[in-house]
Amino acid sequence: MKIKKNISLFTLILTFSFLTFNNSCSERNETVNCFPNTLVSVNTNLNLQPYINDLQQKGWTYIDEQQAGTRGLILVKNLNGQIFVFDRNAPHICPGSDTTLEVNNQKIVCPKDGAEWIMSSGQPLNDQTKGVSPKRYMFDYNPSTGQISVYN
């Protein structure tokens, strides 16, 4: 009798552990699981052209340098002076020829399905985003020199 209880308890724990492990491996809250995993390591000066004009006039710029991911980056400087660096790969769908994120007015837009995010924060604006924000990267910024290092 005691052995049956132990086996039942062991089976229950094993089943629960398997389900928890299986779920944790298949979920990626930040992006879809087919999102490119590539090195991002960019060092540039935001006081140089074209970055300085773009940031002063539009509040954002594209960074298309070596090691800026597979599609480049969107660097946003909002009205409060906060900087955000987003990957240009659509975070909610697998990469395709028309899934490079673009800036349109004050929104980041996916041309494939019309998914939209608030440019100044990356917050999703519509259901097409599936509640997933653009992938953000860490950075170090020196405002006195304009030097920024973006990395993952």
Q: Is the pLDDT of residue 105 over 60?
A: yes
Residue-level pLDDT at 32: 80
Say which range, 2-6, 29-33, 81-85, has the weakest mean pLDDT.
2-6
Residue-level pLDDT at 62: 97
Instruction: Write the pLDDT tens digit of every residue in 34-57.
Output: 888 899 999 999 999 999 999 999
Which contiguous run of DSSP H or E holds residue 18?
Answer: helix 2-26
**Comparing 16 with 130, which gets the higher pLDDT?**
130
- Please name every residue paired with 100 in a beta bridge, in sequence order, or none if there are none: 89
Flag whether 9 is in a domain.
no
Flag whether 27 is in a domain.
no
Flag whether 61 is in a domain.
yes
| CATH code (residue 47) | 2.102.10.10
Flag whether 16 is in a domain.
no
Flag whether 10 is in a domain.
no
Residue-level pLDDT at 15: 47
Flag whether 31 is in a domain.
no
Burial of 151 (0-12, 13-18, 19+ CB in 10 A): middle
Decide the pairing of beta strands 147-151 and 41-45.
Answer: antiparallel
> Could you tell me which of 32, 14, 18 has the C-alpha nearest to residue 110?
32
Domain limits for position 75: 41-151
Residue-level pLDDT at 134: 96
> Could you tell me which of 48, 49, 39, 56 has the C-alpha nearest to residue 137?
39
Flag whether 90 is in a domain.
yes
